[in-house]
């Protein structure tokens, strides 16, 4: 079962997020009461991406307005705009200036450190290349396709200067599911992009490719696999970035080992962050879950994050997704399996997990 990088499918929301950023920047930054002094400080920042429940401006504005008051960091999970860049009418810098920068400016206005993951392949099907490339009958094995990816990465860094930058997502899952030529091209282009970023000088982001934790662990009952190949192939990694949707593999959150993140590091002293993941509140496919179980997962994850002395945790969706608003889905799409990860439903009605999330966020951030 493939994990998901939500924004691969939801790229239609990118322009809406840009509008949202322009609107949001005009709003005064909200202040909140300091947390109680008797709470244990947390080492990890918390935040979300800008994905709305429906692809409308109103939905996007409501989404980011709701979560930006209960976050101290933000993530952008961006598919490579292959079609636009390969078309040759818009260069990477122009694209980033018009599409990505407004949202980044909104986050900067809130004082949020920015993490960006660049998704190279199909986030809803790690055996396949990006949908835009498939439609164009193109491949990342082509030098020209690799170059537009590198140009996009350089434009993101030059323009936005994120604190953390992921050059690919779920590399171990791609290696296990995609053709060897696709994985080989991924290794080549990400290492070249890492060198490009370092050559830019100035403020440097910490680099990573994300590792799918559930794949690294087995999944149960398979034996533990680890991620040593990822550390070898992507030796530029300065952060252990985790993707994890463990509800597919554990029936109860308390079954997840507390070293679920740290064991993957295998003794390395890399900082650890969760860049995507969550636990569904609904019954999906063979998964039987509830809002209460979702809330218990957050409490279990809190222990895992504390054990790892993690530096950040992100969820790509603050709200549930209104699947009916994203029709038609591609044949065989697994998006519905990830539609109920939000802490509020599609109408922004809180679920049990929101109170749990807020109680974790109330812990003061350790300086």
Please tell me the number of Cα atoms within 13 Å of 186 on its side-chain side: 33
Q: Is residue 299 part of a domain?
A: yes
**pLDDT at 163 exceeding the cut of 60:** yes
* Residue range(s) defining the domain that contains residue 169: 6-24+39-361
Q: Is residue 32 part of a domain?
A: no
Closest alpha carbon to 2 in 128, 118, 185? 128
The C-alpha atoms of residue 269 and residue 351 are separated, in whole angstroms, by 36
Q: Is residue 366 part of a domain?
A: no
Q: Is residue 353 part of a domain?
A: yes
What three-state secondary structure class fits 241?
Answer: strand
**pLDDT at 8 exceeding the cut of 90:** no
Task: Tell me the per-residue pLDDT of 265-279, one tens digit each, with 9 for 90 and over.
Answer: 999 999 999 999 999
Q: Is residue 189 part of a domain?
A: yes
Q: Is residue 202 part of a domain?
A: yes
Is the pTM above the cut of 0.85?
yes
Q: Is residue 29 part of a domain?
A: no
**CB atoms near residue 347 (< 10 Å):** 10
CATH number at residue 153: 3.20.20.80
The confidence band for 37, taking pLDDT boundaries of 50, 70 and 90, is low
pLDDT cut 70: percent of the chain above it: 90
Task: Tell me the per-residue pLDDT of 301-357, one tens digit each, with 9 for 90 and over.
Answer: 999 999 999 999 999 999 999 998 888 887 778 888 899 999 999 999 999 999 999
Domain count, the chain: 1
Q: Is residue 221 part of a domain?
A: yes
The answer to whether 83 touches 129, Cβ cutoff 8 Å, is no
């Amino acid at each position: 079962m493939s994990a998901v990088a939500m924004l691969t499918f939801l790229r239609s929301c990118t322009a809406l997020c840009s509008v949202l950023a322009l609107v949001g920047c005009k709003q005064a930054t909200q202040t909140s009461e300091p947390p109680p002094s008797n709470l244990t400080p947390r080492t990890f920042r918390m935040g979300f991406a800008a994905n709305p429940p429906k692809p409308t401006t109103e939905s996007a504005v409501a989404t980011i307005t709701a979560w930006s008051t209960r976050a101290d960091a933000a993530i952008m999970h961006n598919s490579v705009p292959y079609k636009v860049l390969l078309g040759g009418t818009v260069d990477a810098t122009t694209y980033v200036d018009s599409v990505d920068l407004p949202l980044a400016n909104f986050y900067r206005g809130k004082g949020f450190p920015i993490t960006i993951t660049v998704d190279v392949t199909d986030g809803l099907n790690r055996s396949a290349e990006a949908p835009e490339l498939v439609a164009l009958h193109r491949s990342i094995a082509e030098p020209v396709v690799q170059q537009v990816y590198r140009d996009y990465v350089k434009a993101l860094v030059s323009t936005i200067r994120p604190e953390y930058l992921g050059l690919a997502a779920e590399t171990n899952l791609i290696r296990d599911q995609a053709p060897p030529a696709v994985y080989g091209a991924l290794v080549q282009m990400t290492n070249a992009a890492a060198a490009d970023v370092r050559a830019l000088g100035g403020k440097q982001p910490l680099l990573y490719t994300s590792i799918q934790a559930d794949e690294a662990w087995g999944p149960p009952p398979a034996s533990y696999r680890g991620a040593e190949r990822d550390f070898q192939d992507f030796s530029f990694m300065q952060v252990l970035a985790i993707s994890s949707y463990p509800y597919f593999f554990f029936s109860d959150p308390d079954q997840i080992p507390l070293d679920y993140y740290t064991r993957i590091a295998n003794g390395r002293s890399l900082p650890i962050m969760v860049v995507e993941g969550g636990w569904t509140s609904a019954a999906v496919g063979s998964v039987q879950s509830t809002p209460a179980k979702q809330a218990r997962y957050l409490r279990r994850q809190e222990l895992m994050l504390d054990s790892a002395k993690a530096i950040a945790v992100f969820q790509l969706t603050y709200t549930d997704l209104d699947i009916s608003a994203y029709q038609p889905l591609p044949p065989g799409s697994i998006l519905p399996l990830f539609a109920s990860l939000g802490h509020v439903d599609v109408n922004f009605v809180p679920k049990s997990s929101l109170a749990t999330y807020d109680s974790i966020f109330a812990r003061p951030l350790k300086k």
